């Protein structure tokens, strides 16, 4: 169960069932780092403190259609092999998790 959104923060939702399943895998494999990722997504999804770990994806992966709206797609490196891809919607303050998992998404290489 996800914690509720902070009154002034971003709400995090899963864009796909696979993203939700991948998030559960991350919780089991790297609990504290997954929690830190959750905090970052709810507080500052587009303001990275460490651009090597959190950045907007490039090229065709840089945007994604979410419910008929083209949004920027970002990546957060949870561990050296684990990633979360997400699309923040500034109009609704919702972060849509589009991919999460313990394996590296090699589409970025």
What token pair was written down for 83? 């990633």
Q: What pTM does this model have?
A: 0.90
pLDDT band at residue 6 using 50, 70 and 90 as cut-offs? confident
Asked if 54 contacts 40 with a C-beta cutoff of 8 angstroms, the reply is yes
**pLDDT one-digit tens code per residue, 19-47:** 999 999 999 999 999 999 999 999 999 99
Residues in the chain: 109
Residue 40 CB burial class (10 angstroms; 0-12, 13-18, ≥19) = buried
pLDDT tens-place string over residues 51-95: 999 999 999 999 999 999 999 999 999 998 899 999 999 999 999
């Amino acid at each position: 169960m996800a914690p509720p959104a902070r009154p002034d923060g971003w709400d995090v939702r899963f864009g796909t069932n696979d993203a939700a399943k991948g998030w559960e895998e991350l919780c089991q494999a790297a609990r504290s780092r997954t929690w830190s990722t959750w905090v970052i997504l709810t507080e500052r999804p587009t303001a990275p403190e460490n651009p090597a770990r959190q950045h907007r994806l490039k090229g065709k992966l840089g945007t994604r259609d979410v419910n008929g709206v083209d949004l920027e797609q970002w990546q957060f490196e949870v561990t050296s092999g684990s990633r979360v891809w997400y699309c923040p919607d500034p109009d609704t303050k919702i972060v849509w998790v589009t991919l999460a998992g313990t394996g590296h998404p090699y589409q970025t290489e």
